[in-house]
Structure formats: structure tokens, C-alpha cells
Amino acid sequence: MAPVAVVVGVMGAGKTTVGAAVAARLGVPFADTDTIIEERAGKPIPELFVDDGEAAFRALERTVVAETLETFPGVLALGGGAILDDGTRKLLAEHTVVFLSVELTDAIKRVGMGAGRPLLAINPRATLKYLMDQRKPLYLEVANHTIATDGREPGDIATEVVTLLGA
């Protein structure tokens, strides 16, 4: 069983909020790979980064994403950096992927100044801009649909996603 849809985007795009709303409207389960990773690791992602390093986090992320893409029957939100992995991008080619795009101003409003976000520990605004610039081409590469989320309510975005999915 494969996901109905996979939601990707940078932190602050609304993957979890919109993904959960889409799943509720479709009557299917919702999962966020970051939550699954935290459950497997037995600690929050910021601690995983500090204790084990980003490479260990990314290895666990690769495994969790591959497993859930194969077995999860609902709407799946991926962590913002999951698309950095070549293997993950190849796996996503077999799925319906929705890229929630967001511009820097809205993303900063949504994530704040990096509390609980290990990659934003130093100079959050500049770091987030760098991550967005680095990752956007990869999100576009894997996406079947791209939805701009700036200045929009999650419910309106979820409605657009459900419409795009033809449900």
C-alpha cells in the first residue's frame, strides 16, 4: 500500500498542518516522517542532531522514508531535507508528490527564529534562505503539483490539494 499523497517543502511550508487536513478530508491516516524518526530514535530531532550528528539523522530519515513510502496508506509529510537524498528522490518518482512552496517572509513567521530547529541554530533568517534556495530545485524535481502557501489559510490549501488529487 502506498501513500495517497506525499507532501514536501521547506520548514514552515505547512506540510504537517496541511497534510493532516488533507488526510482528514480524504478519510485516510496522516503521518509525518519526523514524528516517526523521533519515535524510533527515542528522542526529539534536535537532540538527535546534537547527540548523533546530522549524518546519523539523515541515515535514519532515509530508512523511515523508504519504509513509509512502501507501506503507509495515507497522506505522508516528509521532513524538509528528505529530498536531499538521491535514493529518496528516485522513490518519490513513483508517488503523487505535492510541493508546498513558501517564500522567506512567511516561512520565518511560521517557524519563528529557529527554536527546536537544529539547522536554524545560527543566523536563522540567512540559514533558512540558504536552505530554501538549495532545496527548491529538488522539491520541483519530485513534485507532481506545486502549491504556493504564502498568505493563505491551511484549510484553503488543503482544499486545493484535495482538488488536485481528484478526490
* Farthest-apart Cα atoms in the chain, separation: 43
- Average pLDDT score, the chain: 87
Fold of 5-164: Rossmann fold (3.40.50)
Per-residue model confidence (pLDDT) at position 110: 55
In angstroms, what CA-CA distances link 154 with 108, 136, 148, 160? Answer: 16, 21, 11, 10
130 vs 71: CA distance, rounded Å: 33
Residue 51's φ and ψ, nearest 5 degrees, are -75, -40
Of residues 81 and 113, more confidence is placed in 81
The answer to whether residue 69 scores a pLDDT higher than 70 is yes
Kindly state the average pLDDT of the residues 145-161: 92
The answer to whether residue 27 scores a pLDDT higher than 70 is yes
84 vs 16: CA distance, rounded Å: 19
Query: Sorting pLDDT into bands at 50, 70 and 90, what band is 83?
Result: very high
Start-end of H helices in the chain: 15-26, 33-41, 45-52, 54-71, 86-92, 104-111, 124-142, 154-164
Per-residue model confidence (pLDDT) at position 75: 97
Q: Whole-model pTM above 0.85? A: yes
53 vs 68: CA distance, rounded Å: 23
The answer to whether residue 138 scores a pLDDT higher than 90 is yes
Query: Sorting pLDDT into bands at 50, 70 and 90, what band is 51?
Result: very high
49 vs 56: CA distance, rounded Å: 8
Please say whether the beta carbons of 157 and 106 come within 8 A: no
**DSSP string computed for 9-55:** -STTS-HHHHHHHHHHHHT--EEEHHHHHHHHHTS-HHHHHHHH-HH
98-133 tens-digit pLDDT: 999 887 666 666 565 545 555 555 666 677 788 788
Residue 161 CB: number of other CB atoms within 10 A? 23
Per-residue model confidence (pLDDT) at position 2: 74
